[in-house]
Amino acid sequence: MNDMTYSGRPMHFISGLPRSGSTLLSALLRQNPRFHAHMSSPLAGLVNDLLNGMGGQNEYSLFISDQQRQRIMRGLFDQYYGEEYSASVIFDSNRAWCSRMALLHSLFPSSKVIACVREVPWIIDSIERLIQRNTLSPSVLFNYQAGGTVYSRTDGVANADGMLGYPYNALKEAFYGAHASRLLLVRYESLVDNPQAVLDGIYAFIDEPPFKHNADNVQFNAREFDQRAGTPGLHDVMPSVQAASRSTILPPDVFARFSRDAFWQHPQHNPHGVKIL
């Protein structure tokens, strides 16, 4: 079976943890005219809706074979990335893709998943900075509800269904799962410190010819989406990539709570030899 889109274009996926550089990575990748990359797309949600709709809750699911399900799912990708997308290689972004490694392998056996990661306390710090910066705008991150404290907000994003908790668990599922060989982790710290070296590693992983990127002229604009989400700055990307040191705004106990959660940092916890940049 051809595992590309109907136009013969390879599919790859960007996933991983929030506030860990996926938007920056997409902004850099799209400098290559052969690539399409953007912020999170609706495809992962549509995939779930289709799977549920073709499952046991549908009394006619008896008449839908797995081959038909596969064609329907591939058709979703084909139609979403139709003729208006002229790029030769497609990167679709969503934090849920790490929980769908087996499905992606079934639909696109040659596809790879690039997961962005970051030291977890600094993810919490980044989320809290964003909320405090937009104190007059209740955010979609908390169901547009104002109030709470850094402790309740942290509990909310870290729970199993939260902005951080769900993708963190999905990342572990992919990292330790049967399709870990198709997974590449990109550390935020590496991406901002040496973006071209990270991009070179990604190109090698997906078997694409090298391309010289410009980390001093990064362009990306999702301001309208962020405004509607009540979280201005959610997908902001600085025009020049640079590592910035800062002190945390988190209470010490909140920071310490997550200080040992970067499981990917320990080689003894990497049984499948997942490549980490």
Task: Dump pLDDT digits (tens) for 177-228.
Answer: 999 999 999 999 999 999 999 999 999 999 999 999 998 888 876 666 656 6
219-270, pLDDT tens digit by residue?
Answer: 876 666 656 666 665 666 676 778 788 899 999 999 999 999 999 999 999 9
What global pTM score does this model have? 0.91
Q: How many CA atoms lie within 13 A of 226 on its CB side?
A: 16
Q: Does domain 11-276 have CATH number 3.40.50.300?
A: yes
Burial class (CB in 10 A: 0-12, 13-18, 19+), 212: exposed
- Angle at CA of residue 146, ends 144 and 147, nearest 5°: 150
